[in-house]
Amino acid sequence: MQLPFVSDLNKQLPEMDKVFKATIEPWWEETYPYYQQMQEETIWKALPPVTTAAFEYLGCGHQSVTFANIFRIAYFANFIHATVKDEEEGQQHNRELQFSILIGDFLFGRLLKLLVEADHKRIMLPFAVMICTINEGRVMKHKMNAVTEQAVEKIYAPFYEMIFLSAGFLANKDREFRDLYRQLGFNLGMAIELCNYPALAEQAYKYIAAALGQFKQINQRYHLSNSRLENMISEISHFLPETGAAAVI
């Protein structure tokens, strides 16, 4: 899916890619095939602009590159681990399998190191919860035949949720605000990811409508016009196929 708001970030992407590659070293050449596989994934393209929008809105945009890298590393590690299959799925216990497990673990370690170095220990526990939720979602998808919406909720939405929660922590917002901002991230993420499934357009509208309501509630405190976040939500609402439920900010 071509996200309508991705082009807005073209100037920052080279810097983000440079930081990402530097973090992956010394495994860049070995992990490049995995990197190529992710390029057309919606979440991979959405993480940088969503992080930038969420962080800028709360006045901590100067940290958006660092955190976009952290979330990309988290997704990359999870993506690599997800390539590991069961024996009944034809997985052989060979060096390729061992490498996938090893490099995934290495990247999770780098992720925690980045959080410690940035002195964001408060965010480490929510990050750990996010990883557990994603792993649970992958089990539900591959072993329990979870429906698409449920799989998206567990595997992809936690990244968006955590982006907004992290911004709330960095901006030193109180718990009530952080929870509302986190919910905004969740609903926005669900809408973005469900755009990939035309048959789920009604569900996508449900989530973007919830995001619109939460954004209006939050924006009453800030009275910001034409923020990157507001524009993003508006673009997504207009990007969705018509279902008879118009969503307008």
> Distance between CA 165 and CA 167 in Å, rounded?
5
Domains present along the chain, CATH in parentheses: 9-174 (1.10.600.10)
Q: Is the model's pTM score more than 0.85?
A: yes
> No. of H helices and E strands in the chain?
11, 0
Q: List pLDDT tens digits, range 48-107.
A: 999 999 999 999 999 998 899 989 988 998 888 777 655 444 445 546 666 667 776 778
- Residue 91: how many other CB atoms lie within 10 Å: 14
- Cα separation, 40 vs 9, whole angstroms: 16
pLDDT in tens, 187-238: 999 999 998 888 998 899 999 999 999 999 999 888 888 899 999 999 888 8
> Residues 174, 196: contact at Cβ < 8 Å?
no
Number of other residues whose CB lies within 10 A of the CB of residue 138:
16
